[in-house]
Amino acid sequence: MSDRPPLLEIRGLRAAVGDLEILRGVDLCVHAGEIHAVMGRNGSGKSTLSKVIAGHPSYRVTAGQILYRGQDVADLAPEERARAGLFLGFQYPVEIPGVSNREFLRVATNARRLARGEEELDTFSFDDHLEQRLALVKMDPSFLDRSLNEGFSGGEKKRNEILQMALLEPAVAILDETDSGLDIDALRIVAEGVRQLAGPDNATVLITHYQRLLEAITPQYVHVMAHGRLLRTGGPELALELERRGYDWVDAEAGLGSREDVAV
Amino acid sequence: MTTTRDRWSEALTPATLPRQARDSWRFTDLAPLKALDPGRLAPRPGVIPDLPPPAPGVVRLCLGPDGVSFSPAPADISWPAGVQVCAVPPDVADAPALAVRLGALLPGPSLGLQLAPGARLRLELVLQPAQAEAALAPRLWFDLAEDASLELALGLWGPADSLLVACVGARLAAGAELLEGQRLQGADSAVALVSGQVQQAPGSRYGRTAVVSGWRLARLEPQVCQTEGQAVTTFRDLALARGQATIDLHSQVRFGGPEGRLDQLQRALVDDGAQSVFNGVVQVPREAQRTDAAQLSRHLLLSTRGRVDTIPQLEIVADDVRCTHGATVSSLSDDELFYLQSRGVDRVLACRLLTRGFCRPIFDDLPPLIAAWPSEGLLP
Ligand SMILES: Nc1ncnc2c1ncn2[C@@H]1O[C@H](COP(=O)(O)OP(=O)(O)O)[C@@H](O)[C@H]1O
Ligand SMILES: [Mg+2]
């Protein structure tokens, strides 16, 4: 494995909103075939990391690099990153009134297919393709003809995210708290979807702050994020330790004191 | 003998046009109207519209070759049972709407129809002058007896430097229903003034949807009076204001008695240096208890040069009423754009999906007759 270049490599990444620095030097290396988990308290910077990787315009990268298949993505627009195979499953998927879910899924799928040198799918062949993928997330087809995420419950939104992932077949999928707000059944379906899509040629980064999802999908690496940095990396046992002991010891070990002591 | 042209030139003098300072014209510049040359404006023959043939049972009238009458002639048509051609009542000389005053000075096709109790009619009026500098002033009048029903689609196309002045009047008896769809599409130098005067008896229903796109200046002044309340009025307006267009909706609904209902939604997309004006007057006097009126105005502003003027005007005297009003002006949301982009949709297409999404609530709910007309060129 190690002779293959990483799919995603993050080096010394710092990012800010206005003058507020949120990411303070993140390093992460993800190879094909791997599943990583990023855990951490609320507010530690997990969502920011995922959005910066996807190219959200609100965040300014002030130092460091994001390399995707060895290429710096700094100059790529969010849509270019997506077409190249980076996928972000949103913690809070956005509701878009008036844009049909089905039409959106088709446009997105075709943009990715074109980028991969594949043919665009017409409405009919897309609908067939969609039906297969729909089964994976056990989503009620009636959600396809509604406005994108509008009025969807939390769980329905998350399933729709996994459906998008299944359609776009990304090389690197970053799933930001796809497990939160899900009941046990929905969690199982989402986990099953993620497991089925994970393969030797792609990689998954699961952002979560519960052990729950990791019981269904076992990551090779668990990283702990605090104060805008990945402070510790370990195996699946680290997740269990976090579940048992909380996060304060990580801060203490890193010499940061608990969160309350840190001036933000 | 004074010619149309003379009268018309007179009508366009500063003395006769509404003063800009007057409340109802405060936000709407009349310059595009004054810029038209009265000496060149004339009736122009109509073109055969580029529309699919009307559905079975639908009567379609177009602008005739003389530019001032309908074709086929209303008198020659075998109308459905209970439908009869009648005279259009003379315009009220001191009517406040500019369209009414100017329309009286201009040539134009007129059509008056009486619908007997229970009569039903589906009617399309397609007014599309073939040439620039057209002057067109359709006058329409519909008198609906008890339980009569009229579905009306009115298409007004304005070629370059043209002036279209339309007056639509209707009287709805108890149980009558008028479902009106207007589609106004004009060149970026054309001017449209459209007034509506609808009287509703208790138990009648009036639904009016207008989609306005293009124009240099388009002003719509639909006025409804629920003479004794207890009627239902629905307004749906969509303005697509681009370039230098000013699209102005001045609506007025008066409840003359109790338990009337109004459901009004106005949406406008404002791009480039365009302007949208919305003034929605709702009058609920003391006798209009238990009125239920909802008015919502939503603007999507796509350009920093665009301008929005919203002037809600709820005149509520009755105390036991439910009247709601909301007005928003927003621009495209960064988070919505990012979400679409993060799925590989490029920014231009993402903007288009979002702007179309904004228009959709009205577009998806068009009355069936105008919904059947192709919408190419209407949506961004
Ligand atoms: N767009 C933003 N503007 C201002 N502050 C932000 C923004 N995004 C994130 N933050 C702040 O950065 C910190 C990390 O947030 P986030 O990345 O959402 O954490 P997590 O996902 O780990 O809960 C929080 O204090 C949050 O308030
Ligand atoms: Mg988060």
Q: What is the pLDDT of residues B141-155, one digit of tens each?
A: 999 999 999 999 999
Residue B285 lies in a domain: yes
Please compute the mean of the pLDDT values over residues B257-280 and round it to a whole number: 97
Residue B152 lies in a domain: yes
Is the minimum distance from the CB of A208 to ligand 1 under 6 angstroms?
A: no
Residue B378 lies in a domain: no
Q: What is the mean pLDDT of chain B?
A: 92
Query: In sequence order, what are the residues at sequence separation of 6 or more whose Cβ sits closer than 8 angstroms to the Cβ of residue B93?
Result: B101, B104
B340 chain-A contacts, CB cut-off 8 A: 96, 99, 104, 108
Q: How many domains does chain B have?
A: 1
Instruction: Quote the Cα angle for B357-B50-B150, to 5°.
Output: 75
Residue A263: per-residue pLDDT: 40
B344 chain-A contacts, CB cut-off 8 A: 79, 82-83, 108, 111-112, 115, 168
Integer angstrom CA distances of residue B291 from A72, B35, B198, B257: 63, 43, 18, 8
In angstroms, rounded to a whole number, what is the distance separating the alpha carbons of residues B7 and B28?
24
Over 60: is that where the pLDDT of B285 sits?
yes
Task: For strands A96-100 and A20-30, give the pairing.
Answer: unpaired
- For residue B354, give the chain A residue with the closest CA: A99
Query: In sequence order, what are the residues at sequence separation of 6 or more whose Cβ sits closer than 8 angstroms to the Cβ of residue A82?
Result: A54, A108, A111, A112, A168, A170, B341, B342, B343, B344
Low-confidence spans in chain A with pLDDT less than 50: 1, 259-264
Residue A17: per-residue pLDDT: 96
Its ipTM equals: 0.94
Distance of CA A136 to the CA centre of its chain: 18
Is the CB of A96 less than 8 angstroms away from the CB of B359? no
Residue B380 lies in a domain: no
Residue B301 lies in a domain: yes
A94 chain-B contacts, CB cut-off 8 A: 333, 335-336, 338-339
H/E element, B121: strand B120-127
Helix axis angle, A101-115 relative to A123-137, nearest 10°? 100
Greatest C-alpha distance within chain B = 70
Over 90: is that where the pLDDT of B364 sits?
no
Q: Give the amino acid at B225.
A: C
Neighbouring C-beta atoms of residue B23, cutoff 10 Å: 10
Question: Could you tell which of A48, A94, A259 is best to mutate to test the pocket of ligand 1, judged by most ligand atoms within 8 Å of the CB?
Answer: A48
Q: Which domains does chain A have, with CATH numbers?
A: 8-253 (3.40.50.300)
- DSSP secondary structure, B53-117, as one string: PPPTTEEEEEE-TTSSSEES-GGGS-PPTTEEEEPPPPPPTT-S-HHHHHHTTS---EEEEEE-T
Residue B257 lies in a domain: yes
In angstroms, rounded to a whole number, what is the distance separating the alpha carbons of residues A17 and B245?
38
User: Chain A to chain B, count of Cβ pairs less than 8 Å apart?
Assistant: 81
User: For atom 9 of ligand 1, which residue has the closest CA?
Assistant: A48
Over 90: is that where the pLDDT of B50 sits?
no
Q: What is the pLDDT of residues B99-141, one digit of tens each?
A: 777 777 788 899 999 999 999 999 999 999 999 999 999 999 9
Q: Give the amino acid at A66.
A: I
Q: What is the pLDDT of residues B72-93, one digit of tens each?
A: 999 999 999 999 999 998 765 4
Q: What is the pLDDT of residues B207-227, one digit of tens each?
A: 999 999 999 999 999 999 999
Is the minimum distance from the CB of A47 to ligand 1 under 6 angstroms?
A: yes
Interface of A with B in 139-198 (CB under 8 A): 147, 164, 168
Residue A252: per-residue pLDDT: 81
Percent of chain B with pLDDT over 90: 79
Is the minimum distance from the CB of A45 to ligand 1 under 6 angstroms?
A: yes
Residue B33 lies in a domain: yes
Residue A264: per-residue pLDDT: 38
CB B70 within 8 A of CB B62: yes
Domain range for B362 is: 4-371
Residue B379 lies in a domain: no
Tell which atom from ligand 1 comes closest to the C-alpha of A40: 22
The values of phi and psi at residue B8, to 5°, are: -65, -45
Query: Which ligand is the nearest neighbour of the Cα of A91?
Result: 2
User: For atom 26 of ligand 1, which residue has the closest CA?
Assistant: A43
B359 chain-A contacts, CB cut-off 8 A: 98
H/E element, B358: helix B347-363
CA of A174 vs chain B CAs: smallest distance (Å): 12
H/E element, B285: none
Residue B312: per-residue pLDDT: 83
Is the minimum distance from the CB of A42 to ligand 1 under 6 angstroms?
A: yes
Residue A135: per-residue pLDDT: 87
